[in-house]
């Protein structure tokens, strides 16, 4: 990738990071933000708390979640050779949703108020995401046809949605609100510990990605070619699903099911660098994911609208454009 | 140059445990063009997929120089057999050079004694693709894309090449040119080429050995 485009992305990311930390509804001036950042001990405690315990964790969560979702989207699109594949496919997000719904809607609300309760949502989401992933892996061993596997993932999403709907119809108002809040997606509730876990998941996924990076380009030709070029298809598929599961599962657990970033960013990255080469797309995809998530979160904060509302409002026109130019995009993956 | 033999013995393959063909016996020598003809649905593509190790056998064995391909790892198999399928895989965002370099994934290029870049250059030159190396695969003609896909398979340094209806999307001039370059390639590099085709003129003009697959049985027609 040309250095200037790389540099440009880093610069945009830096500006958005500053805006995310600097802007807000609390009426803190730029000078006060700077003071809270550089001298947290001497700055007014309210300012330090807002900056260090609210805005910085939220900013870090947005950047980490955006990067994670974007790379998992890239892997999904390569694996299925389908430009509309994303982390929400394969039932991973819906598995996470079902996990949370089972916990929150079936009477688990009493633990919601405690700190342990909040972590239990994340655990439920991760268990749900990996249960869905395990099911898909099991089916993938029997179905070698990628479109069929994709349809299976979509059907799994429908099925889990039906279960969630059933749970919702029986739930109390309070638990329903908790679930709906999680479902709207937000980076606001992430603290430093959760960010550390998301960072650990991202680093682990990138290390696993390193092991399969040279194989990913070969998969662009499809499995029947990759299979004759020295790639163990079953093992590669398994690894790709595990990486996607870690990235999408952990992110969904802490931030809720955040839509569109995983679908949209890989396309923007490939267009930006005019190449489908995964080695060249890795860094721009991660940076663009972080940029898009920060941008959506910034608008969400300033407009007081939920994150997924903003992401969908931006994402839906993008997907329509994608459909209209389907053939052109299809040939890019 | 080293001689290699691909041997197919009593092979049956198909889907859902139902054989499309059985009792297939065939021997392919390196440096030769072997054709398989047959009607649509006769199982030519399945047989080629079985030879490439993608379709599991229901019975029998396929071996190269006495070693069964089912015992080989994916990497080892790719150093024996390369393949070009009949679908028009055309991806944007990669150049002809990048496409050909994909073939070096198995690492077999080290046995050529050339550097990886030299090996890619050499392979591009073998199929007259040097001038197109930096072009996107989306910008070249069907015939050139077919050549590039073959070059990618050659970059694997395999002893045998499986081509599923290689002339399907080509006009009559491009067909002849491709087959002529394949024949030259087989003689020059001693690679064994197995291709399927409907085109009897092409088969008659270029194949060294001809087989017909019909009603689940393979018959040897002639040796030229």
Site from B99, B100, B102 to mutate, A interface, most A CB atoms within 10 angstroms: B102
pLDDT digits (tens, 9 = 90+) for B144-186: 888 899 999 999 999 999 999 998 878 888 888 889 989 998 9
- pLDDT band for position A283 (50/70/90)? very high
Q: What is the pLDDT of residue B14?
A: 85
Spell out the domains of chain B, with CATH numbers in brackets: 5-223 (3.40.50.300)
Secondary structure (3-state) at B209: strand
Is the Cβ pair A220, B79 closer than 8 Å? no
pLDDT band at A331 (very low <50, low <70, confident <90, very high): very low
Provide mean pLDDT across the span A95-111. Answer: 75
CB contact A320 to B (< 8 Å): no
More confident residue, A115 or A51: A51
- Report whether A25 contacts A301 (CB < 8 A): yes
Which of B36, B32, B29 is CA-nearest to residue B7?
A: B29
For an interface test with A, the pick among B85, B105, B108 (most A C-beta atoms closer than 10 Å) comes out as B105
Closest CA to A65 of A174, A185, A161: A185
Binning pLDDT at 50, 70 and 90, where does residue B62 land? very high
Q: Which string of DSSP letters, residue by residue, matches B77-136?
A: HHTTEEEE-SS----TT-BHHHHHHGGGGG-GGGGGTS-HHHHHHHHHHHTT-GGGTTSB
Please state, in angstroms and as integers, the Cα–Cα distance from residue B45 to each residue in A63, A271, B84, following that order.
Answer: 48, 35, 11
Residue of A214, A216, A217, A229 best to disrupt the B interface, most CBs of B under 10 A:
A229
Tokens describing residue A327: 């053939």
Which chain A residues are within 8 Å of B81, Cβ to Cβ? Answer: 228
State ipTM. 0.89
Q: Which secondary structure element, helix H or strand E, spans residue A228, and what is its range? A: none
Q: In whole angstroms, what is the distance from residue B208 CA to residue B224 CA?
A: 5
A231 CB neighbours in chain B (<8 A) are: 74, 105
pLDDT at A281 over 90: yes
Q: B81 - beta bridge partners?
A: B160
**Left, alpha or beta for A185 (phi > 0: left; psi -120 to 50: alpha)?**
left
pLDDT digits (tens, 9 = 90+) for B75-114: 999 999 999 998 766 677 789 999 999 999 999 899 988 9
Question: Residue A278: pLDDT band by 50, 70, 90 thresholds?
Answer: very high
Mean pLDDT across A272-298: 92
Residue A283 to chain B, least CA–CA distance (Å): 17
Find the length of chain A: 333
**Percent of chain B having pLDDT more than 70?**
97
Q: What percent of chain A has pLDDT over 70?
A: 91
Mean pLDDT of the region A184-201: 87
Distance separating alpha carbons of residues A166 and A156, to the nearest angstrom: 15
The dihedrals phi and psi of B126, each to the nearest 5 degrees, come to -55, -35
Check residue A110 and give its pLDDT: 47
- Residue A330 pLDDT exceeds 70: no
pLDDT in tens, A240-267: 988 988 888 889 888 888 878 888 899 8
Chain B: residue whose CA lies nearest to A330: B91
Residue predicted with more confidence, A322 or B163: B163
Contacts of B90 in chain A (CB under 8 A): 331
Q: Does A332 touch chain B (CB under 8 A)?
A: yes
- Nearest-angstrom CA–CA distance, A228 and B166: 17
Question: What is chain B's alpha carbon radius of gyration, rounded to the nearest angstrom?
Answer: 17
Residues of A in contact with B50 (CB under 8 A): none
Cβ-defined contact of B102 to A332 (cutoff 8 Å): no
Chain B residues close to A147, C-beta within 8 Å: none
Task: Please tell me the predicted confidence (pLDDT) of residue A115.
Answer: 56
Q: Do B105 and A218 touch (CB under 8 A)?
A: yes
Q: List CB contacts (< 8 A) between A220 and chain B.
A: 91, 94
List pLDDT tens digits, range A131-161: 887 888 788 777 767 778 778 888 888 888 8
Chain CA centroid to CA B36, Å: 12
Burial label for A78, CB within 10 Å (0-12, 13-18, 19+), is buried
Residue B16 has pLDDT above 90, yes or no: no
Partner-chain contact A229 B156, CB within 8 Å: yes
Minimum Cα–Cα distance from B53: chain A residue: A228
- Report the pLDDT averaged over residues B62-66: 93
Element (H, E) at B53: none
pLDDT at A329: 47
Q: Between A and B, how many residue pairs show a Cβ–Cβ distance under 8 A?
A: 76
Question: Does the CB of A275 have a partner CB in chain B at under 8 Å?
Answer: yes
pLDDT given at position A114:
54
Of all residues in chain A, the one with the smallest CA distance to B84 is: A225
pLDDT digits (tens, 9 = 90+) for B113-125: 899 999 999 999 9
Q: What are the structural domains, with CATH classification, of chain A?
A: 3-330 (1.10.3470.10)
Does residue A54 have a pLDDT over 90? no
Option in A222, A227, A276 nearest B93 (CB) = A276
Instruction: Look at residue A183 in the predicted model and tell me its pLDDT.
Output: 82
- Are B86 and B197 spatial neighbours (Cβ–Cβ below 8 Å)? no
For chain A, what is the mean pLDDT? 83
CB B82 within 8 A of CB A228: yes
**Which chain A residues touch B153 with a CB distance below 8 Å?**
228
Enumerate the residues of chain A whose CB falls inside 8 A of the CB of residue B156: 229-230
Nearest chain B CA: its distance from A170 CA (Å) = 44
Encoded tokens for B178: 């491709």
Cβ-based neighbours of A42, under 8 Å, separated by 6 or more: A35
Is the CB of A188 inside 8 Å of chain B's CB atoms? no
Give the model confidence (pLDDT) of A72-94 as tens digits.
999 988 887 777 777 777 777 88
Q: A319 touching B, CB under 8 A?
A: no
């Amino acid at each position: 990738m040309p250095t200037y485009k790389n540099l440009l992305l880093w610069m945009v990311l830096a500006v958005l990071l500053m805006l995310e930390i600097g802007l807000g509804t609390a009426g803190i001036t730029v000078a006060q933000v700077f003071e809270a950042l550089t001298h947290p001990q001497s700055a007014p405690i309210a300012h330090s708390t807002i900056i260090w315990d609210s805005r910085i964790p939220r900013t870090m969560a947005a950047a980490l979640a955006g990067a994670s979702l974007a790379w998992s989207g890239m892997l999904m699109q390569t694996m299925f050779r389908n430009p509309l594949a994303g982390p929400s496919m394969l039932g991973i997000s819906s598995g996470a949703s079902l996990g949370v719904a089972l916990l929150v809607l079936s009477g688990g609300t009493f633990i919601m108020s405690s700190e342990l309760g909040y972590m239990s949502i994340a655990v439920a989401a991760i268990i749900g995401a990996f249960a869905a992933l395990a099911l898909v892996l099991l089916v993938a061993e029997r179905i070698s046809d990628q479109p069929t596997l994709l349809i299976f993932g979509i059907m799994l999403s429908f099925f889990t949605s039906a279960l969630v709907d059933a749970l919702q119809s029986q739930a109390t108002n309070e638990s329903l609100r908790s679930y709906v809040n999680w479902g709207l997606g937000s980076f606001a509730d992430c603290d430093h510990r959760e960010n550390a876990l998301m960072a650990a998941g991202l680093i682990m996924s990138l290390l696993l990605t390193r092991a399969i990076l040279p194989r990913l380009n070969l998969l662009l030709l499809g499995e029947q070619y990759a299979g004759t070029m020295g790639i163990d298809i079953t093992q590669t598929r398994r690894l790709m699903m595990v990486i996607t599961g870690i990235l999408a599962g952990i992110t969904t657990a802490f931030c809720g099911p955040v839509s569109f970033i995983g679908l949209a960013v890989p396309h923007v990255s490939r267009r930006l660098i005019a190449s489908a080469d995964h080695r060249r797309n890795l860094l721009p995809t991660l940076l663009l994911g972080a940029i898009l998530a920060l941008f959506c979160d910034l608008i969400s904060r300033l407009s007081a609208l939920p994150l997924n509302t903003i992401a969908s409002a931006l994402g839906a026109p993008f997907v329509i454009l994608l459909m209209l130019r389907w053939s052109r995009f299809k040939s890019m993956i | 140059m080293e001689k290699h033999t691909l041997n197919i013995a009593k092979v049956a393959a198909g889907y859902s445990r139902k054989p499309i063909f059985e009792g297939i016996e065939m021997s392919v020598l390196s440096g030769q063009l072997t054709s398989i003809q047959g009607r649509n649905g006769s199982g030519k593509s399945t047989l080629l997929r079985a030879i490439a190790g993608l379709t599991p056998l229901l019975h029998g064995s396929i071996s190269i120089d006495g070693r069964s391909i089912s015992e080989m790892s994916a990497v080892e198999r790719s150093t024996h057999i390369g393949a070009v399928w009949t679908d028009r895989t055309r991806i944007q965002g990669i150049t002809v050079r990048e496409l050909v370099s994909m073939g070096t994934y198995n690492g077999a290029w080290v046995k050529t004694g050339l550097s990886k870049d030299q090996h890619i250059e050499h392979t591009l030159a073998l199929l007259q693709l040097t001038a197109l190396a930096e072009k996107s695969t989306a910008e070249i003609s069907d015939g050139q894309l077919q050549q590039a896909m073959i070059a990618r398979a050659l970059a694997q340094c395999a002893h045998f090449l499986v081509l599923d209806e290689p002339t399907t999307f080509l006009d009559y001039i491009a067909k002849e040119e491709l087959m002529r370059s394949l024949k030259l390639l087989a003689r020059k590099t001693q690679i064994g080429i197995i291709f399927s085709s409907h085109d009897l003129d092409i088969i008659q003009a270029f194949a060294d050995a001809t087989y017909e697959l019909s009603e689940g049985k393979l018959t040897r027609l002639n040796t030229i």
